Amino acid sequence: MAGKTSLFLLGAYVLPVWGETILGLTVFTRHGDRTSKHYAGYSLTNLGFQQNFQTGNFYRDQYLESGSPKRILGISEDKYVASQIWASAPDQTVLANTATAFLQGLYPPLDQLDRQIATNTVNNGTEYTSPLNGYQYVLLHEPGTESPNTIWIKGDDGCPAVTASAATFETSEEFMTRDAATKSFYQEFWPQLSDVYDFEQSDLGYARAYDIFDLINVAQIHNSSTSENVTAEQLFQLRTLADSAEFGENFNASQPARSIHAQTLAGAILNQLNQTVTGKGKLKFSLLAGSYDTFLAFFGLTDLTAADPNFYGLPDYASTMAFEVLTDKDVDAFPSSIDDLKVRFLFRNGSDVGAPLKPFPLFGQKEETLAWTDFVTRVSQVAITSVEKWCSVCMSKQPFCAAYNPSLSSGSIPAQSTGGDADIEMNMNEGGMSNALAGVIGAMVTLGTVAVAGLFFFLLTRKKKQMPPRSSADSIGSCEKGSCSSSTHA
């Protein structure tokens, strides 16, 4: 998020409420630094791998370490236990590598944590550790592009309704006003972009706001000659315009189809947390890796923009959203009553040492925690919780949608998932939510319309955060925000 003010100045760690106990956690993370997505085959850079690794290590410090007051009840501190951890990323190189690097930080090589646990001794007395000093192979589920389970993290892929709704943003008065007002500004960057193989000078405008920002931002980080030709003020303006364009394309309260990818993510998060609850804490930590557009859509869908206007902006590389299941009591066993359970949303912008994981109220509420039953009800009102519903609202022609739309069938229907650990729907019945989850959901209501008037004025006038002096320990994250350039990242 560009122009961060009070949002991220409150320290690196969440201050625990004494007496409470964290029972489980679900995290949604963005990838780290990458090459420009303008070009096919874009990938994480070494910096990006480090950012995601550091983010995973941050969550280890917060939720796994025995000395942390926020340690998840009963979680294995050093050794990966498959029944406690669940991770998923789309079968896409950048996002799969994002999750892998995060998990490496969450559960580093065991030999450096506890050599005794890392070592096996065979009958002849020889000791062995797994390769790479006890590397821990945390299982990562990667649903393929034709799997129905792709919708939970990338609900916009293969969804014509999302594409059609997003396209209407360019016909809005808001878009056309901005496009006209910024035309001359974008033309200033032709010298930096003239070598882009498929760009014409006429392409430089607000319609390509994110693409232009991404190209120049990546060059600012990795190309010293480019960084000399673009000022900090210009880059900030590019980022601000990309913020507004991407939010406009990914959320509109009067057009729910525009945020379908956030609705499926909400369904996935609800399902993972529900598994923690119904399993009495057996599942302790879930990780999902996705894209910035899903973050923005989710910010709008859950009314986080009412909690802080910085949520109108792009999240930085390696940013995370986290959902804690907790009880406000100091317990040593999972509570027997769901009335004792609460949910708290937290957000961490980027991977800097010192970047806080900060709680925010969802759905325009004042309280930072919601009772579990209240959380389930509110999320269910905006979530997509079945493949069948996604196929319907998307009007999708994905092969797996033939199971729900006979007109798509060409004689045979692809085998559908039957559940199990590989499925994000593993507790869902008949393509819907689990009986345990459905039992606590009240009447469904539609998402109300929220006003976004004044957004662009805010984005253009908010002040850049004054970065404090950085130590060498901050070097990886600070390259993201300014020591390589004065930028922040998409």
Please report the beta strands in 293-428, taking only residues with DSSP state E, as ranges in sequence order: 320-327, 342-348, 358-359, 369-371
At residue 382, φ and ψ (nearest 5 deg) are -120, -5
pLDDT for position 463: 39
Q: Say if residues 155 and 263 touch (Cβ distance below 8 Å).
A: yes
- Rounded to the nearest 10 degrees, the angle between the axes of helix 93-106 and helix 46-63 is 40
Identity of the highest mean pLDDT range in 6-20, 392-406, 451-465 = 392-406
pLDDT tens readout for residues 89-115 = 999 999 999 999 999 999 999 888 888
Cα separation of 145 and 151, whole Å? 9
Q: Say if residues 423 and 434 touch (Cβ distance below 8 Å).
A: no
Cα separation of 265 and 153, whole Å? 6
Cα separation of 168 and 161, whole Å? 11
Identity of the highest mean pLDDT range in 30-39, 226-235, 458-467 = 30-39
Cα separation of 366 and 106, whole Å? 32
**Residue 322, SS3 per DSSP:** strand
Q: Which residues of 376-407 are buried (b: 16+ CB within 10 A; e: fewer)?
A: bbbbbbbbbbbbbbbbebbebebbbbbbbeee
Any idea which of 164-168, 344-348, 386-390, 460-464 has the lowest mean pLDDT?
A: 460-464
């109108």: which residue's tokens?
Answer: 312
pLDDT tens readout for residues 326-373 = 999 999 999 999 999 999 999 999 999 999 999 999 999 999 999 999
pLDDT tier, 467 (very low <50, low <70, confident <90, very high otherwise) = very low
**Residue 247, SS3 per DSSP:** helix
Question: Nearest 5°: CA angle at 96, between 94 and 100?
Answer: 115
**Residue 12, SS3 per DSSP:** coil
Mean of the pLDDT values across residues 70-85?
Answer: 97
Q: Say if residues 312 and 273 touch (Cβ distance below 8 Å).
A: no
* The pLDDT of residue 451 is above 60: no
CA neighbor of 298 nearest in space, from 285, 286, 312, 309: 312
Give the number of C-alpha atoms closer than 13 A to the C-alpha of residue 441, restricted to the C-beta side. Answer: 21
3-state helix, strand, coil in the chain (%, to 5): 45, 10, 45
pLDDT tier, 119 (very low <50, low <70, confident <90, very high otherwise) = confident
CA neighbor of 58 nearest in space, from 94, 6, 16, 106: 106
pLDDT for position 14: 52
pLDDT tier, 129 (very low <50, low <70, confident <90, very high otherwise) = confident
**Residue 285, SS3 per DSSP:** strand
State the sign of the Cα–Cα–Cα–Cα dihedral 308, 309, 311, 316: negative
pLDDT for position 145: 84
Domain annotation for the chain: domains and CATH numbers: 1-113+130-490 (3.40.50.1240)
* The pLDDT of residue 413 is above 60: no
Characterise 244 by phi-psi region: left (phi > 0), alpha (psi -120 to 50), beta (else): alpha
Alpha-carbon dihedral 417, 446, 304, 163, rounded to 10 degrees: 60
* The pLDDT of residue 412 is above 50: no
* The pLDDT of residue 1 is above 70: no
Average predicted confidence (pLDDT) for the chain:
84
Any idea which of 107-111, 166-170, 227-231, 470-474 has the lowest mean pLDDT?
A: 470-474
